Amino acid sequence: MEVQNIVQQEFLKCITHQCEIEGSSFSVEENKKDPTKLNVLIYGESNTIHQNGIYKAEFQFTKDFPEVRPEGKFISPLPYHSNIDENGKICLDYYNDWDSSTYNKKSFVILIENLCTLIHNQNNESCLRYSIGKEEQSNKQQYIQNVQKQALVCRQAFLDG
């Protein structure tokens, strides 16, 4: 099956599906420039330091899907987060868990749910940007201000679209 058809099938499964995960939500939209990609919008959870943030991620599907999970990364402007590097690459173990033998239509949604969890739960043991992880531990107030500031930058970039 062609990659485009696979992506379109996954897109149809998810596009009308906006999920709520403990107050956080996301939506999936078509990437009009590349049919092998899907865009994901992750909305910051209410009453958290990510409130009002809108973070954009992108998933690249290959012809080996679902045996190989789609590659995901955040798109600039990036969240202020120690587990996301300067290029949007994600570093967390649960993101890498992908079992094609148990793949079903919910697997892709679970992958996105993991990104929502990532946004709200920094793991300083898997830092890609050590300075952010260190800041969270040593200067919590400055860290919170930086997260909130970048959440608004990400939101504005989305709105300016």
Which CATH number describes the domain made up of 3-160?
3.10.110.10
Given phi > 0 = left and psi -120 to 50 = alpha, else beta, which region is 66?
A: alpha
Q: Looking at residue 130, what is its pLDDT?
A: 92
Q: Looking at residue 36, what is its pLDDT?
A: 85
pTM of the predicted model over 0.85: no
Q: Looking at residue 141, what is its pLDDT?
A: 97
- Report the C-alpha gap between 53 and 24 in whole angstroms: 11
Q: Looking at residue 96, what is its pLDDT?
A: 62
Q: Are 74 and 90 in contact (CB under 8 A)?
A: yes
Q: Looking at residue 1, what is its pLDDT?
A: 42
Q: Looking at residue 75, what is its pLDDT?
A: 93
Q: Looking at residue 94, what is its pLDDT?
A: 54
Which residues have a Cβ under 8 Å from the Cβ of 138 and sit 6 or more positions away? none
Q: Looking at residue 87, what is its pLDDT?
A: 94
| Ordered per-residue pLDDT tens for the chain, 161 residues | 455 555 555 555 554 445 544 445 888 877 888 888 888 899 988 889 999 999 999 988 888 877 778 888 999 999 999 999 999 998 766 556 666 666 665 677 777 778 888 888 888 888 899 999 999 999 999 999 999 999 999 999 999 97
Alpha helices in the chain (DSSP H): 3-14, 93-96, 105-120, 130-138, 140-160
**Residue extents of the structural domains in the chain:** 3-160
- Report the C-alpha gap between 63 and 27 in whole angstroms: 24
